[in-house]
Structure 1
């Protein structure tokens, strides 16, 4: 119960932080979270630091999402490396990564691509056409057919946590460019995480190039998740995000 109350207090602090930045009332948004499960990020997962990060983002779901949840996806290399894990909220966040992600999701310890995650998120929130559900070999034997599932368009904020450089730069640029041209109502906030002082030139580039894409470098994740609510909010909220929220 105490954890839930603390998260609700964190959500109220987020609302106040947004108010100070010019957002009188947080708009209703779906909130998504994409977590990199490539091999180089395994230590942070097993140490419980990414679990703590996810917990610190639950208040964003409480503040923005009508259902008070965050939709969690994992990703590594290729389309097969993207997986919908499920929703995290104030009731199930404790140990979520260990229980649902570590060594359990497709693509675990793979490489790093961004474009397939972005496509999946855009489809999930209704901006890139319907979701295609394949029947599979045994399903076909049982008479099942492929399904095309229409999805309602939902304005969304998607936070992506990654520690590595991607191998699909041109494809990622194309997905973001097409999304911008469609005027999709989705904002992607990339968190580039590295304890080795790595730089993220590609993430900086897309953060500068696209008005619905932001980038924050996190050089010490343990320190980042240990901040006060006010300090964490100050790092994640900037003028571009505020402008998008007002739009």
Structure 2
């Protein structure tokens, strides 16, 4: 028997035959450009979360030691389902309610989604409770809540809507959400128009991800939060505030780099590249490639967890080598992202661009190979940011790559810094470094779209 609840209706879990963990399932049929994301909030008797850790969603998939766990989205026939598992017996005594809601991913309203339904059932079993709710102009909606009433756990159909999306729903239960900046006062003369944004993902999705990222960093890695915010300022100036890209860090491990690794210069740069990776990349991982005589790809890549010791751990695992082969490293990067490193004469488009930070302290031994690689890579949506550590005069080859003719599109930039710029008494500031890393990338993105290298 399925218990059908309308708005405000409730039923005991035991009465519905649910005596263990339950799975709450949201079902809908996506509309063009509109999708939904399920969330859960663990609240006290006052109806508020104890902290932001009580917010369960796709990027923070569990709370209370796993008592509430986001199971993710999947397809079911022509519909989409998003699920959360709740184990009432495992919830802390001060959690009296689990609020189940969803917000829209993309433009539109919940009224524009068909087949909208919420079901509650046992793990792996059929629905025992179904909540039937009407939707209209809402962009976020609380569908149901699993709550404690004395010794009993019950489920209620709610139907509380919000027209200000996830922020409104989350704020209602006490999750802190960064305020939007206030609109500027009117000026006598309108400022010149900003550069057109080059970001491509839906604003609501990416903005929410960045808010969630900053909340996580505030408690787990405050120093990295500062770098991510500094990177964000540089990106916003260039219309890249909500841009998505894959990020790679290519590191020279030739013997001449030894002093730079010991001094911490490479670690400092790696942390700045990680800040870009956390801003740009959905999975928050920077893919790492090492090159000397050979090319290596350490797994896992550079990520927030363990980032402070990442370079030190690499140098323990990989010995410095006696050669410097740019071309081999570039071939490995191209093969990793585009399937092979062969010479190309036609565009190879993709959905998401790749930003490559390439660090070295000298010229390569395979110049002809590197030249062919950068020319072939110009047919792919990959941008090469070369950075030399040392006097600029010793990087004439990188300057030639930067200015190389015969490419499908200009796909590289180069600048040099001294070791003192990274680790000296007055090092280059983080905002200045991020500005240099973004000098040519925005213009390359526009060219790449114009030339059909990017599909969105």
Q: TM-score range by the shorter chain?
A: 0.7 to 0.9
Equivalent residues of 1:35, 1:73 under 8 A apart: yes
Distance 2:265 2:426 in 1: 8
Alignment correspondent of 1:230:
431
C-alpha distance after superposition, 1:93-116 (max 9, x if no partner)? 1121111x215226x232101011
Q: Supply the distance in 2 between the matched residues of 1:65 and 1:24 (Cα, whole angstroms).
A: 13
Scaled by the length of structure 1, the TM-score of the pair is 0.79
Match of 1:167 in 2: 365
Residue 135 of structure 2 is matched in structure 1 by none
TM-aligned CA deviation for residue 3 of structure 1:
6.9
Larger Rg: 2
| Distance in 1 separating the partners of 2:441 and 2:371 | 20
Partners of 2:326 and 2:308 in 1: how far apart? 27
What SS is found at the alignment partner of 1:32? strand
Higher relative contact order (CA 8 A, sep 6+): 1
Displacement after TM superposition at 1:159 (Å): 0.5
Q: CA deviation at 1:153?
A: 7.3
Given that 2:371 and 2:401 are in contact with CA atoms closer than 8 Å, whether structure 1 keeps it comes out as: yes
1:212 is the counterpart of 2:408: no
- State the partner residue of 1:105: 318
Shift of 1:7: 1.5
* Native 8 Å contact 2:247 2:287 kept in 1: yes
Does residue 121 of structure 1 match 2:333?
yes
Gap regions ≥5 residues in structure 2:
1-216, 343-349, 450-456
Give distance in 1, aligned partners of 2:438 and 2:426: 15
Check 1:3–1:188 CA distance in 2 against 1; reply closer, same or farther (3 A cut). farther
CA distance in 2, matches of 1:175, 1:189: 14
**Given the alignment of the two structures, is residue 17 of structure 1 paired with residue 234 of structure 2, yes or no?**
yes
Of the structure 1 ranges 225-234 and 205-214, higher mean CA displacement relative to structure 2 is found in 225-234
Q: Considering only aligned residues, what root-mean-square deviation do their CA atoms show, in Å?
A: 2.5
Whole-Å separation in 1 of the counterparts to 2:387 and 2:297 = 19
Structure 2: distance between partners of 1:223 and 1:127? 41
Aligned to 1:136: none
For residues 425 and 338 of structure 2, the distance between their equivalents in structure 1, rounded to whole angstroms, comes to 32
Larger helix percent: 1
Cα deviation digits, residues 94-139 of structure 1 (max 9, x gap): 121111x215226x23210101110110111125369xxxxxxxxx
Partner of 2:247: 31
1:139-184: per-residue Cα shift (whole Å, max 9, x none)? xxxxxxxxxxxxx87521110110011111111111111222xx20
Q: Which residue of 1 aligns with 2:445?
A: 245
Give 1 or 2: higher strand fraction. Answer: 2
TM-superposition CA deviations, 1:56-77 (whole Å, max 9, x none)? 2111101101111211111012
Structure 1's unaligned 5+ residue stretches are 131-151
Alignment of 1:156 onto 2:373: no
CA distance in 1, matches of 2:400, 2:372: 14
| Partner Cα separation in structure 2 for residue 18 and residue 46 of structure 1 | 31
Q: 2:380 aligns with which of 180, 184, 191?
A: 184
Report deviation, 1:224: 10
* Aligned positions, number: 216
Which is worse superposed, 200-209 or 215-224?
A: 215-224
Alpha-carbon offset, residue 189 of structure 1: 0.6
Once the two structures are TM-superposed, the CA of residue 245 in structure 1 deviates from its matched residue by 3.0
What residue is the counterpart of 1:53 in the other structure?
Answer: 269
C-alpha contact 1:127 1:184 (8 A) present in aligned 2: no
In 1, are the aligned partners of 2:246 and 2:352 still within 8 Å (CA)? yes
| Partner Cα separation in structure 1 for residue 316 and residue 322 of structure 2 | 11
Structure 1 residues 168 and 29: alpha-carbon distance in aligned structure 2, compared to 1, 3 A threshold = same
TM norm structure 2: 0.44
> Aligned-pair distance for 1:207?
0.9
Question: Matched residue of 1:115: which SS?
Answer: helix
